[in-house]
Copies of this chain bind each other. A is one copy, B any other.
Amino acid sequence: MGLDALFSPRAVAVVGASNRELTIGYRIIENLLEFGYQGPIYPVNPKGGEIRGLKAYPSILETPEPVDVAHIVIRNKYVPACIADCAKKGVKAVIVNTAGFREIGDEGAALEDELIAVAKQTGIRVFGPNCQGVINSDPEVRAYCNFTFTRPTRGHISIVAQSGGVGEVIHQRITELGVGVRKYASNGNACDVSIPEIIEHYGADEQTKVIAVHIESLPDPRRFLEIASEVCRRKPILAMKVGRTAEGAKAVSSHTGGLVKQDTAIELIFEKAGIVAFRNIEELCQSAIGFASQPVPAGNRVGMIANTGGPAIIATDELIEGGMVMPPLSKPTEALLREKLLPEASINNPIDVLATAGPEHFAAAINALLDDDGIDAIFLNFVTPFFVDTLGVAREIAEANRRSQKPIVATVMTEKQGWAETLKVIRDSGVPAYDMPDTGAKVLAAMGRYAAFLKRPTEQPTSYKGLDASRARSVITTARQAGKTLLSAADGFDLCTCYGITVAPYASAANVDECVAAGDKLGYPLVLKVDAESIVHKTDSGGVVLDVRDRDSLRQHAETMATKFAEASPAFLVQQQLSGGLELIVGAKAVEGLGHIVMFGLGGIYVEVLEDVSFKITPVTRREAREMIESLQAAPLLTGVRGQAGVDLAALTEIIQRLSQVLIDHPEIRELDLNPVFAFEQGAKVADVRVMV
C-alpha cells in the first residue's frame, strides 16, 4: 500500500483529543479546522462530550466509518493497544505523536517494538512515534495532521524531515518567503513509515516539483539510495548534509539514539543518487524556490545581466565557484546588444546595461541571451533606481519568462515597500527574485549541479567475462570454516586472480625448500613474506624481506623467518618484486545495510599526510572509477605531468571495477585492501592484499 491514505485521508480521528488549549490533542484539532480540512474530524476522548465544537467519541471503535488517519496522543504505554483498536476499526494509518519510545532507551525501544509488531500483524501503517505528523495543502484535502504552526500556501515543494525542528524551520522559511508548499512530513522515530517511502510518495505526486529532505541517519541506506536514485531522474531532491564534523556526528548519534555513524556514507549516497546537497538550510530553502519555479538549465553556461557592477562581481564569483561558466557572448549577440543598449553599456558577460537602463534595454538584453545558443541560463542583477521605470522592467522580465525555456533567476535589490509592485510582477511571473546576488547565484549553481546529474548517462557496472566467482566463494568459505577472519596472503591473491585482477607473480611455499624452488621459477629480485593469520603487522615484525637478489639470500632469509615465527607455524609467499611504478592503494570497507565503500588513493604520504583519497559506493561503474582517479588532488601524477607519461588509467579503472565486483559477489567481506598496487605506463599489478571477512 502506498501512502495515499496517510496524506489524503477521508477522515481524521484524534485519540487523546482534549479541550485544554496547550495540549497537542487540542492543537491538532485546531490546526485541522483552521487549515480547512475537507473531511470529517473525530475527536476521541473517554469522556465524550464536545471538543472545540466537534462531537467527541469515547473510543476509536465508535467513530463513524471510514477513518483513514488517527492521531494518537495518549500516554506511551497505552499506544500499542490503541493501534490495535485502530486496526480493528479499519484505520489505514496512525500518526503517533506521543513520545517516550526508542529515543528514551531500552524500555521505550521495547514499547516501540510492540508498535511494529501490531503494524506487521494488522497491516496498519504507523507514522512516528515521537513525531510531528504530515501536512497536505492540496485544496481538495487540506490535511494539517500536525501540531506545528506554519500554514502553507499551495505550492510545489514537498518536505520530509527526520528532525521536526529542522523540518519546521524549512517549512517556515519557505512560507515566509511567500512560496507555497505541497506536502510536509516529519516521522520522528520512523518505526514503520520511512523516509525513503515518503520520498517515493512525493516522487509519484504530480504536483510535487521539488523535494526537500533532512536526514541525520539512514536505517536502510540501500533502500534510500535506490529510491532516491530513481526519483532524482524525474525531479530534484535537495538535502542537507548534517553530521559533517565529528562533533556534529556525535550530536546526531546522541539525538537519534546511537545509530550507526554514516556521515561519509551519506555524502556518497547523495552523490550517487543525484541528490543536490547543501551545507546550509537557507540555501536549501532558497534553492527549492528556484527549482519549483524555473526549468532546469540544459547546461552550466550562464549569461548575466546587471545594472550595477558590484553585485555582478559577487554573483560571478559565486557562480564560478559553484561550477558554472560565464562564456563570452557570441558575435551576433554582441552586435545586437551594441545596437540596442545604451552606448556606454558594457557588452561583456556580465552585461552591464547601466543604472539608467529602462525596460527596453533589459528586454533587449534578456531576449538576446534567450536567443543565444551558447547560454543555458540567465542571471539578472536588478537594482531598482528611483529614476527608472522599474515596473516596466519587471513586466519585460515577466514577458521574457513567459516565452523562455531557459531558467531565469533574478536578484532584485530594492526597498520592498516602495517597490512592492515591481517585486510582485517579477515573482508572480515565476521568476524567483532574491535579495542578494550571492544567494541567487548559489541557487542557479545548485540548478546547474542538478543539470549536470541529469546529463550524466545512466550506466550499468561493467560486466566482466571469465570470472571465477564460485572458486572465490570456496576460498572465502574454506577460510571462514577454518575460523579465520583474515584471509592468508595466498588466499587474498587467489581471490584477485579469480576476478582477473593482475597480481605480481607469486608462489606459496610451505617451507624453506619450497621457497627456493619458487624463487628459481619466478626469478630475482623477489619479495619474501611470512603468511600466517596470527602475524598482523608483518612488515614491522620482520615478516617481509624486500629485494632478495639471489637463491642464497632467499634461503637464508627464509630460514631466519622460519625460526623467528616458528610458533605461528607459518607458510611463506615468494613474489616477484615490482619497481618503477607509482604506488597506489585501492581499499574497501563494508557499510551495514548499504554494501561497500571503495577507496582509491596514492600510497604513503598522499594517504597518510595529505589524506588525498576518493570514495564510491559499490557497484562502481566505469565513470565512477574514472572519477575516483580524476578527483584526487594528485591526479596529475597519474594522468601525466612535467613531461612524464602518466600511468595506465584504463588498467586502474578496471582494477577498481573488478574489485567492486568482488565485493558485490561476496558481501561477507568486511575489509579489503590492495596495498600497494603498482601502476605502470602499461598495466598495473597488485603487490599485496589484505582481506577481512
Q: Which residues of A contact B (CB under 8 A)?
A: 22-24, 27, 104, 147, 149-150, 161-169, 172-173, 176, 214, 216, 240, 242-248, 251-252, 254-256, 279-282, 308-314, 316-318, 320-321, 326, 344, 346, 348, 350, 352, 381, 383, 386-387, 413-416, 418, 435-439, 605, 608-610, 612, 633-634, 636-637, 641-642
- Whether the Cβ atoms of B605 and A251 lie closer than 8 Å is no
Interchain CA distance A220-B269 in the complex, whole Å? 49
- Whether the Cβ atoms of A309 and B251 lie closer than 8 Å is yes
- Whether the Cβ atoms of A22 and B313 lie closer than 8 Å is no
- Whether the Cβ atoms of B313 and A243 lie closer than 8 Å is yes
- Whether the Cβ atoms of B166 and A314 lie closer than 8 Å is yes
Interchain CA distance A578-B150 in the complex, whole Å? 71
- Whether the Cβ atoms of B281 and A314 lie closer than 8 Å is yes
Which residue from chain B places its CB closest to the CB of A606 in the assembled complex? Answer: B610
Interchain CA distance A169-B416 in the complex, whole Å? 12
- Whether the Cβ atoms of A164 and B387 lie closer than 8 Å is no
A77 CB, nearest partner CB in chain B, Å: 16
Interchain CA distance A418-B27 in the complex, whole Å? 14
Residues of B within 8 A of A163 (CB): 308-311, 313
- Whether the Cβ atoms of B311 and A169 lie closer than 8 Å is yes
Interchain CA distance A306-B439 in the complex, whole Å? 28
Interchain CA distance A247-B348 in the complex, whole Å? 11
A609-B641 contact given A23-B387, A281-B438, A317-B244, CB 8 Å threshold: yes
- Whether the Cβ atoms of A248 and B320 lie closer than 8 Å is yes
Residues of B within 8 A of A312 (CB): 251, 255
Interchain CA distance A252-B279 in the complex, whole Å? 28
- Whether the Cβ atoms of A164 and B282 lie closer than 8 Å is no
- Whether the Cβ atoms of B317 and A245 lie closer than 8 Å is yes
- Whether the Cβ atoms of A308 and B165 lie closer than 8 Å is yes
Residues of B within 8 A of A255 (CB): 309-310, 312-313, 352
Interchain CA distance A337-B165 in the complex, whole Å? 23
Which residue from chain B places its CB closest to the CB of A214 in the assembled complex? Answer: B310
- Residue A436 contacts which of B248, B282, B381, B641 (CB distance < 8 angstroms)? B282
- Residue A634 contacts which of B216, B309, B346, B605 (CB distance < 8 angstroms)? B605
Closest 3 CB pairs of A and B: A163-B310, A165-B308, A255-B309
- Whether the Cβ atoms of B165 and A344 lie closer than 8 Å is no
Interchain CA distance A252-B22 in the complex, whole Å? 56
- Whether the Cβ atoms of B439 and A282 lie closer than 8 Å is yes
- Whether the Cβ atoms of A165 and B608 lie closer than 8 Å is no
| 8 further A-B pairs in the complex, CB-CB below 8 A; given A147-B386, A173-B436, A279-B317 | A163-B313, A165-B309, A167-B310, A172-B415, A254-B346, A605-B641, A608-B642, A610-B633
- Residue A316 contacts which of B27, B247, B318, B386 (CB distance < 8 angstroms)? B247
9 residue pairs from A and B, CB less than 8 Å apart: A22-B387, A150-B415, A165-B311, A167-B310, A176-B435, A251-B309, A251-B348, A605-B634, A609-B637
- Whether the Cβ atoms of B609 and A247 lie closer than 8 Å is no
Interchain CA distance A565-B612 in the complex, whole Å? 44
- Whether the Cβ atoms of B641 and A608 lie closer than 8 Å is yes
- Whether the Cβ atoms of A176 and B416 lie closer than 8 Å is yes
Interchain CA distance A128-B452 in the complex, whole Å? 44
- Residue A172 contacts which of B254, B386, B413 (CB distance < 8 angstroms)? B413
Residues of B within 8 A of A439 (CB): 282
Residues of B within 8 A of A310 (CB): 161-167, 214, 216, 242, 255
Residues of B within 8 A of A172 (CB): 413-415, 435
Interchain CA distance A172-B384 in the complex, whole Å? 12
- Residue A281 contacts which of B162, B164, B415, B436 (CB distance < 8 angstroms)? B436
Interchain CA distance A247-B323 in the complex, whole Å? 12
Interchain CA distance A346-B313 in the complex, whole Å? 46
Residues of B within 8 A of A23 (CB): 387
- Whether the Cβ atoms of B22 and A386 lie closer than 8 Å is yes
Residues of B within 8 A of A214 (CB): 310
Which residue from chain B places its CB closest to the CB of A309 in the assembled complex? Answer: B255
Residues of B within 8 A of A348 (CB): 251, 254
Residues of B within 8 A of A352 (CB): 255
Residues of B within 8 A of A605 (CB): 634, 637, 641-642
Residues of B within 8 A of A311 (CB): 163, 165-166, 169
Interchain CA distance A281-B439 in the complex, whole Å? 9
Interchain CA distance A116-B394 in the complex, whole Å? 40
Which residue from chain B places its CB closest to the CB of A386 in the assembled complex? Answer: B27
A252 CB, nearest partner CB in chain B, Å: 5
Which residue from chain B places its CB closest to the CB of A388 in the assembled complex? Answer: B22
Residues of B within 8 A of A216 (CB): 310, 313
Residues of B within 8 A of A245 (CB): 316-317, 320-321
Residues of B within 8 A of A609 (CB): 633-634, 636-637, 641
A255 CB, nearest partner CB in chain B, Å: 4
Interchain CA distance A165-B279 in the complex, whole Å? 28
Residues of B within 8 A of A162 (CB): 310
Interchain CA distance A386-B24 in the complex, whole Å? 9
Residues of B within 8 A of A251 (CB): 309, 312-313, 316, 348, 350
A316-B24 contact given A149-B418, A310-B162, A310-B165, CB 8 Å threshold: no
Which residue from chain B places its CB closest to the CB of A346 in the assembled complex? Answer: B254
- Residue A317 contacts which of B242, B435, B637 (CB distance < 8 angstroms)? B242
